[in-house]
């Protein structure tokens, strides 16, 4: 399994010491399941593949942004009613803030890891989300004043529509809080991140895996007969 990739392998993996199937399997399993890098080392060893945990870490950091970009080509639209909330992730022994939004169906709208929880961070989140999905019709927030101020400023600047409905509802925001748990359950085995950049990239991968599980991508156009298996879907998306 650890022979060089064939000449027909996607250019994304060309020139790597390990075969693309090993790289893809390690990265996909890491962002999807509650596994540590050392768990994957042991699992690969059982398959006759000797790989270090630092090598898998480098694969995750190198490939997740490209995987996310390629999957984005098949993204289905999300709804226009957003539930927005922040949760906490430990980076370098300190708490960082993960801004997240889901629509009324629970589909992931967007996310942003920030070292601060303030107006500037909230504005970055909403600007990024609206650039990807368009402006929402309604936004449900928690009671944190900085987020409300950010929305008000973005209405004034035209990023958000002036008529966008803004509300605070603990009941409605239970949806995004429950969704936080799915992401954080995957992050717990990672035992904290050593760098902010690594944390942001890894969380992007975890969020990608969650969106795939939620059915947020339409890959019907690239899947050939017999290609319903998860590994086949990934191969088709990355090769397209």
Its sign, for the CA torsion 61, 67, 70, 72, is negative
Domain membership of residue 146 (yes or no) is yes
The range of the structural domain enclosing residue 58 comes to: 20-74+217-239
List the single range of 2-6, 30-34, 53-57, 205-209 with lowest mean pLDDT. 2-6
Question: Per-residue pLDDT tens for 38-50?
Answer: 999 999 999 999 9
- What is the model's pTM? 0.89
Shared-domain flag, residues 225 and 169: no
Tokens for 77, please give them: 């639209």
The answer to whether residues 98 and 52 belong to one domain is no
Residue 178 pLDDT > 60, yes or no?
yes
Please tell me whether residues 88 and 175 are part of one structural domain: yes
| Domain identity same for 53 and 133 | no
Task: Give the model confidence (pLDDT) of 103-112 as tens digits.
Answer: 999 999 999 9
Co-location of 64 and 162 in the same domain:
no
Q: Say how far apart CA 31 and CA 64 lie, in whole Å.
A: 9
pLDDT score, position 236: 84
Q: Does residue 98 lie in a domain region?
A: yes
**175 with 83: CB under 8 angstroms?**
yes
Is 161 found in the same domain as 85? yes
Question: Is the pLDDT score of 138 beyond 70?
Answer: yes
Q: Domain with 134 in it: what CATH number?
A: 3.30.420.10
Cite the DSSP H helix spans in the chain: 20-32, 37-46, 53-72, 119-133, 145-157, 170-187, 196-213, 230-239
Query: Phi/psi of residue 117, each to 5°?
Result: -115, 90
The predicted pLDDT at position 224 comes to 59
Identify the H or E element spanning 151.
helix 145-157
């Amino acid at each position: 399994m650890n022979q060089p990739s064939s000449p027909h392998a996607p250019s994304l993996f060309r020139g790597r010491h390990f075969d693309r199937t090993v790289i893809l399997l390690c990265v996909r399993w890491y962002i999807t399941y509650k596994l540590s890098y050392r768990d994957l080392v042991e699992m690969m060893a059982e398959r006759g593949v000797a790989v270090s945990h630092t090598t898998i870490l480098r694969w995750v950091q190198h490939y997740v942004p490209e995987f996310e970009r390629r999957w984005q080509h098949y993204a289905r639209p999300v709804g226009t009613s957003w539930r927005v909330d922040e949760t906490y992730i430990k980076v370098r022994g300190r708490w960082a803030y993960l801004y997240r939004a889901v629509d009324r169906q629970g589909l992931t709208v967007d996310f942003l890891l920030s070292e601060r929880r303030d107006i500037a961070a909230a504005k970055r989140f909403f600007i990024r989300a609206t650039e990807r999905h368009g402006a929402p019709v309604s936004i449900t927030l928690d009671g944190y004043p900085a987020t409300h101020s950010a929305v008000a400023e973005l209405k004034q600047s035209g990023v958000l529509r002036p008529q966008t409905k803004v509300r605070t509802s603990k009941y409605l925001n239970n949806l995004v809080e429950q969704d936080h748990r799915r992401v954080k359950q995957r992050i717990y085995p990672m035992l904290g991140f050593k760098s902010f950049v690594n944390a942001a990239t890894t969380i992007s991968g975890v969020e990608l895996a969650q969106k795939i599980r939620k059915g947020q991508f339409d890959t019907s156009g690239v899947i050939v007969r017999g290609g319903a298996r998860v590994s086949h879907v990934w191969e088709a998306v990355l090769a397209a």
